Each structure stands twice: as C-alpha cells, then as structure tokens.
Amino acid sequence: MHKVEPKVFLVGETKIVKEGLNGFLKHVGVPKWKSDASTDLEKIIEVMGRLCYRSFEPGLNKNVKKVREHNKDYLENIKKVKHGSVIEHPVLNFIFTDVSRVFTHELVRHRAGTAISQESLRFVRLDDLGQWLPTVIYEDEKAVEIFVKTFKHLEKLQLELAEYFKLDDEAMPFHKKKVITSAMRRIAPIGLATTIGWSANPRTLRWVLEMRTDPNAEEEIRLVFGKVLRAFFFCASLLAEWSVKMNIAKYIDHTLLKPDATRGQIVKLCHEAKDYGFASVCVNPVWIPKCVVELKDLGQKTDVKVCSVVGFPLGASWRNIKADEARQAFLQGADEIDMVMNVGMLKSGDLLEVKLDIQSVRLAVSRAILKVIIETCLLTLEEKILACKIAQDACADFVKTSTGFSTGGATVEDVKLMRKTVGPKMGVKASGGIQDYAMAMAMINAGATRLGCSAGIAIVEGSKK
C-alpha cells in the first residue's frame, strides 16, 4: 500500500488544420481573413460561429453591415447571446491519476459532451493499493490507523488470491486470468487509487467546473477540478475565465488584518465569507477563536476556513517564536497559516536560516495549509526565485506575494515568475492591492490559485457584470 495525491494531466486539445481552414476561407470568399485568437480552441469557436451568420467580414452576408474584429469581443458576444452550441466544437483531453473510485463514480455522472476511458479492474490486477485520505480522516490519527489497517488487509487478500489461483503461472491462459481478476475486484476498496481518461468540450467543462469546484462539492472531486481549472487557463484563458466568473469567491481569502479591527468587524467578515462562499477569512491571531465560533460552532454548514498570520508583518522574529505562534494559532482553530519569511536573512545570503525558519513553522503545524509570504516588493528578481525555491524545499503549500503592509503589493509579473518557479502543483497566493474583478482575473490568469484581499465582495459583484 502507498499514499497518493490526485493528479491532473492535460494531454490533448483541438488543433486547427491550417490547410483545411485556408481552403474553406478561400471557398467562402474571404481568403485574407485572420483571427487574433490566442489559442486554436478559441479560434475554432470563432470560425464555427462566424460561418453560422457568414460574418467573416461586412457585406459577405448582405444583412451584416459590421462585424466584431477581435476574438475576445466575438466570444464575449457568443456568451451574451447564449449561442452555446458553437462552444461544443473543440475538445480538451485529460487524464486523472491516483484518483479513487469514489471520484470516478461521481465523474461518470457527467455524460453529455464527454468521453470516458477508465482503467479496467477486469484486466488490471491489484497488488499495491494506492490510498488518498480526505481531510476528515487525515486529521484524525485513529481514523488514519483504521484506514491504513483496512487497506493493508484488503491488499493482502488480493495477493493471497493471486497466489492461490496461480495467476503468475506461465501456463495460465489469459482469458482465465481475466475471469479470476474480475472476481477478485469485488473485495477491492472503493477508495483505491485508479486512472481515468476524461475528454470534454468547453461548454460541458464550464458547467462541470461550476458544480465540482463549489465549496459544497465532495472534497476529492473539488480538489481535482481545481487542478483542471488551472490547466484550462493555460490553454484557453478566456473560456476558463467564464468558468471562474461562476465561482470566483472560492479563490478569495476574505481579509481583515488592520490593527484597529473590532470584534464587530470580525463577526461581519465571517458572515460575509459564509454568504459569498469565500475560501477563508484571514485575521490576526487574537481573532481566531471568534472566527471559529462564527464559522464552525454555530451549527451552520460552511467550508470557509480560518486563516491567520505568523511573524506578521515583518518576518523578523526568532524562528522558535514563529513556530510557537503558529502552533497556538492551529490549536485555537486556524486551518491555514500565512507566515512572513525572514526577508533580512534572505537578502543577507543566509539561505539556510531562511529554510530553517520556514521548516520550524511547517513542523509546528504539519496538518495546516502553510503559505509563505516572500514580500516581493523588497526583493530582486533573483531573490524572488530563491525565496520561492526555498519555500518549496521547506514543504510549504503556497508562496504568497505580499503582506500588504510594505512598499507594494501583488503584480502580474511577480505572480507569473512565482508560478514559473514553483511549477503547476504548488499554490501561489497574490495579495496586496487587488481591488476589483479585472485585477483579480489578471492575477488568476498569471497563475494565482488564491487571492488575499479585503475587496472580495466588490470582486465577486464585479464578476456578475
């Protein structure tokens, strides 16, 4: 038995056949037509839409006197007039690995506009079961013990049956192996890790993303489709943006870190977070217990997490003090910790101390989400890259741009650099100065998977326009 983490691979997408498209355009009478679409997915949607109205240029259809010249404007109009059928032409191909059969049972309910190919346990023999643990189990030592014990026992039974039926005997015919292997899967756990291929058109993908990234969706499928959304951004940012608009709140840490914040303001922050479905509330440590009461202890179902800060806002505390602060925050009920890196040590070249500083907090709160604030406005380009790599090596979950209390906040260029440095799996949080929907989308397009801001409500309301 081994532990796994669900993974998402975008393995294919629709590509334009240039010769065929050029031949069609010549046939229609517009051989010089060009599109400024950034991807073939968005270009093929535009082509299919324009052929419906023969609107490649004014006058081609005598009823059309003017046309939208830019792909973005054209696609936005398709969305506005709800001409959704043309969005079904392109296809994206994903492979999901190390996902459970719980996940695949939910995924296959989405049939329209998809194609599915799943690893077959009728053929594939089980000899090393992979296991991913949901948070409610992972955070409970006794539950983890029961899960691991059960998986190991079921794995042992698979091995014993394989030996009993002599499945490794060279004389055993394949058709008989298939029959026996198929029978043996009936005592395999539904939580075992498997692989499934899933292809969908963007119209279907948008609606699956809306449902499966909702805070009320099951944890594993929510995790997987969060990764799908990030992959979607890399190949079709405009189409992905439509999906984010449906639920941008889940990107937002609703933040109030002002020193003069009052109890009443903290209560209001929590109620807003529940009403809008934000990812978390981010508050100073003294307010953690109040947030726990408002978000977790009043009997109302909510997935809003409690996030707090450590070594804030300077990051210049002793590392044992930061570790103790993080430990107390976690014991008080914080789900996520945003710690400030020791910026002075980084700029002094003491990289080991910077790593030990982060590791001390990581060890103190091994079950909490850990974000490392690198304070980009104070760093050179080389220092930003170093800071990201050190945070990643120290097993942090996110790198974060800014405290919002220094000389500058998040920039698109910094988020792009951070994403490029840490790769696709680590979280990137943009924070500081994100005031409206356009700025929020710019950060997400650049690679941010979380946004820290006090203007969360304005951002969500802006997404509805």
Residues assigned a catalytic role: 338, 400, 429
**What is the identity of the amino acid at 357?**
D
Task: Please name the helix (run of DSSP H) or strand (run of DSSP E) that holds residue 197, with its range, or none.
Answer: strand 193-200
* CB 463, CB 457: distance < 8 Å: no
Name 308's bridge partners.
283, 337
Torsion of CA 319, 323, 326, 331, to 10 degrees: -160
- Provide the 8-state DSSP code for 84: G
* CB 221, CB 106: distance < 8 Å: yes
For residue 40, what are the CA distances in angstroms to 16, 21, 112, 362, 429?
Answer: 6, 12, 23, 43, 29
- Collapsed DSSP state (helix, strand, coil) of residue 417: helix
- Provide the 8-state DSSP code for 340: E
Report the interhelical angle of 412-422 vs 381-393 (nearest 10°): 40
Residues 6+ apart with CB under 8 A from 342: 311, 315, 316, 319, 353, 354, 357
- Residue 47: name the closest of 39, 56, 60, 36 by CA: 56
